[in-house]
Amino acid sequence: MQNNFIYLDNNATTPLDPRVLEAMMPYLTDMFGNASSSHKMGRQLKAVVDRSRRQVGDLIDVNEEDIYFMAGATEAINIALQGLPSRVGSTKHIITVQTEHPAVLDTCRYLENSGVEVTYLSVDEYGLIDFEELKQAFKDNTFLVSVMHVNNETGVIQDIEHIADIAHEHGALFMSDGTQSVGKLPIEASSFIDILTFSAHKFYGAKGVGGCYINPRLKIKSLVYGGGHEGGLRSGTLNVPGIVGMGKAAELAALGMADDKECIGKLRDVLEQQLLTIEGAKVNGSREQRIYTTSNIRFEGIDNEAVLLGLKDICVSNGSACHSFVMEPSHVLLAMGLSKEEANTAIRFSLGRFNTAEEIKQTVDAVTKTISQLRTMAF
């Protein structure tokens, strides 16, 4: 079905790559069985699941047996954060960041009610943490540092290798939410990450499937019982079509990452340069330490809800998709020092593999026209 949208909300979800759909189709039709069954079809399905595990492992440079399939990054984050404390003794302390995704922040707040102490690091005006503040945050009972790789709202990239080094120097584990970076940036997870979480639908796979890499030396208590699937970590019948699609998406990402970076980055830069010619337009977050897909721009004095309504068939965002129905200013932008009024003028443009130069031109024209109209109405 053809649509008439210009889609610039790829941080919320990417479209399904047609090549991924093609790989999935046999497992939605003829090969419909259960990968845990012992009959011929079940054995064949287990083989394709194992192949997908290798493809995902290759993408992030880890052994296939250390990849665990789940419903997505949110579930993986919950299992990791809730499953780890039970393995590390009676007193526990986690360090994370104020600008993390709600999947991390909400889970940490739940853990605080269960006796886990959590320190939430601040960020500077560019969205980056202070390494000295991180070092000062460690306590004798700190067992985990959890810092996302790429911020979903601003695209800001944290130096997770250096952060991991600091965590390990202090005897703590390092976990990263890789939802916005896996499949888009090269990651050699086995060399410095203890837990890395991800979702397929952020790199052109299907929704409802994702997972995590877990360092083989770690033992995490399961939260989902009922069959012992995925090494006992996450019970439930495997989503074979989704897993096959994620494997194919991982393979395509590994092969096309450099081309994606060049093509998407050029389009993002054109979009941003032209939008910044609008009076009062400013980029939120670091422009140097930022992924090539994302531009978060605030337009002085313009309510972002009004902009979204004015853009009609252009899909952009005024914050995290997980909070899309909550009319509150972005917690990320507030943590970076913006006022509520400034945060409510911000629009996130997130580009992907299938955007075109013509779409960027139309978007610039539409945004410029909409903001001009809104400013005229205000006077």
Active site residues: 322
Pairing of strands 314-315, 142-146: unpaired
- Take residue 95 and report the two structure tokens written for it: 């360090």
Bridge partners of residue 121, in order along the sequence: 97
CA-to-CA dists, residue 355 to 180, 255, 307, angstroms: 18, 19, 21
H/E stretch holding 351 reads: none
Burial 93-127 (b: 16+ CB within 10 A, else e): bbbbbebbbbbbbbbbeebeeeebebbbbebeebb
Q: Is 59 in contact with 248 (CB distance < 8 Å)?
A: no
Cβ atoms within 10 Å, residue 193 = 24
CA-to-CA dists, residue 206 to 193, 236, 245, angstroms: 25, 18, 7
Helix (H, G, I), strand (E, B) or coil at 346: strand
Question: What's the count of helices (H) and strands (E) in the chain, helices before strands?
Answer: 11, 12
Pairing of strands 294-299, 346-350: antiparallel
- Take residue 244 and report the two structure tokens written for it: 């096959």
- Take residue 88 and report the two structure tokens written for it: 């590390």
Nearest to 350 by CA among 106, 178, 151: 151
φ, ψ (nearest 5 deg) of residue 304: -65, -25
Helix (H, G, I), strand (E, B) or coil at 167: helix
Bridge partners of residue 348, in order along the sequence: 296, 317
Helix (H, G, I), strand (E, B) or coil at 117: strand
